[in-house]
Amino acid sequence: MRLLLKIIMVIGLTIAILVPLMMIRGTIQERQMYRTQAVHAIARTSAGAQSLSGPVLVVPYVETVEVEEKDDKGRVNRKVKQDGGSGAWTFFPNTMEMTGAIEPKSKFIGLHEVRGYELDSKTLASFRVQIPVDADPNLPRKIGRPWLSYGIADVRGLAGVPKLRIDGKEMKLERGLGSRDGSGLHVRLGQVQAGEEIALRAEFDFALEGTETLAITPLGQRNRVVLDSPWRHPQFNGSFTARKRSIGDKGFHAEWEVSSLATNAQAQYLGGKLLPDVSAIGFAAAADGGQDTGIDAISVSLVDPVNIYSQADRASKYGILFVLLTFVGFFMFELIKQLRIHPIQYGLVGLALAIFFLLLVALSEHIDFGLAYLAASAACIGLLGYYVSHVLRSWARGLGFAAMLATLYAVLYGLLISEDNAMVLGAGMLFLILAAIMVITRKVDWYSLGNAPARQGPPPTPAGH
């Protein structure tokens, strides 16, 4: 009966420790929310995640129609009017090649660091198109001045004055996308006629600041995008896989080659989707069932190698396992060595284990995550080793308990830094722990232990006596 009551007590205390663990997890998620707010605050005051599209050649026109009108005497007269409705032809480049260097920059709000960047880029695009002829020579369309437009999600990020040269001649850029709503830049071209062939080469040089993510829409018939950066931890998202990419100590290099046959970007653009939605690009969107990203895009994000809040949140998920394994160790000592351990002592040890995760978050906001983990785990292992040596009435047992905790913390750190192998490492750890418990207790007579009276035993002898 005593054994059963003790088991119920251990289970109850384990469940009770869930309360502070959940509170600590809530604090971690709250800090993560503050970081998200910091990203949004920076995006409001400077430039957020950037997306680019274009160039696109747009030629506006007004239809000419023949109408019948009655005069004052009731006679019907035929007249030609240019009010048959307006429209525009949209032409995409035959080739589009973009090269860019992404320089990482850090922005801070309080304790929160947000990864920014500056893109120094050159875009070369060539067009060879023909203006449609009039269906009826007697009803010629009125063709307006065409324009060349570049879509940019947040033009506040433009650093310096961008330069556009068409066939070697520098052109004056204006805000907007011509007569179409949207964010970006455009330039007006010379007047054209029906049936005229337009051949031009556009060179666009610009520097653009952004936050975390960059997305590029391949609108040409043939598209080539080359990006280089000293950042060593890129995350490649979007609709296309880089044909060539390398990541090393000096950063990353990536090349994409996309044909119009491999993307719906042109049709999506004509349907009104001008720029990709960077918030819906990436693995998170795929996990949510695939959000609508607006338009097909190439995308890369400068991610932090260690997101302290996501790492701490992952670590806290193992908190109940830590408490359970510690209580099992206490329980084994109590039964096998016939020691009496009070429920309050169980509870204090469980709280010390829970406090580790709070210490981890607090320290990692000021120092490197690895150092924060080392400091928090060393503090908790030292405290628990000292306390448990008195609870178990032996310095040797206390040191053994501290060694067990150090092993658990080391395994947990391995789980955190090896995300791809976390499941196999976790399963292996649980198997080894269960195997150790079974080996240690293989000769234990549980019926006799359950009825045997516990002994007090002598207090621990301090070192040096």
pLDDT tens-digit map of 42-69: 666 677 788 998 899 999 988 877 665 6
pLDDT at 337: 66
In this prediction, residues 261-271 reach a mean pLDDT of 90
Q: Which range marks the domain in which residue 389 is found? A: 2-33+308-451
- Phi/psi of residue 311, nearest 5 degrees: -65, -45
The answer to whether residues 287 and 314 belong to one domain is: no
Which residues are CB-contacts of 169 (< 8 A; sequence separation ≥ 6)? none
Residue 64 and residue 85: Cα distance in Å, rounded? 8
Q: Residue 297, CB half-sphere, CA atoms under 13 Å: how many?
A: 32
Q: Is residue 464 in a domain? A: no
Comparing 316 with 292, which gets the higher pLDDT?
316
The answer to whether residues 61 and 12 belong to one domain is: no
pLDDT category of residue 393 using cuts at 50, 70 and 90: confident
Look up residue 207 and give its amino acid.
A
Q: Is residue 98 over pLDDT 90?
A: yes
The answer to whether residues 350 and 255 belong to one domain is: no
Residue 301 and residue 91: Cα distance in Å, rounded? 30
The answer to whether residues 267 and 384 belong to one domain is: no
Nearest-CA neighbor of 238 among 154, 302, 300? 300
- Phi/psi of residue 58, nearest 5 degrees: -120, 130
The answer to whether residues 298 and 421 belong to one domain is: no
Residue labelled with tokens 């950037």? 50
Convert the pLDDT of each residue in 104-121 to its tens digit: 987 766 666 778 899 999
**How many structural domains compose the chain?**
2
Mark which of 273, 302, 331 sits at the end of a domain: 302
The answer to whether residues 77 and 27 belong to one domain is: no
Q: Is residue 457 in a domain? A: no
The answer to whether residues 238 and 330 belong to one domain is: no
Q: Is residue 459 in a domain? A: no
Structure tokens belonging to residue 55: 């160039």
Mark which of 302, 336, 365 sits at the end of a domain: 302
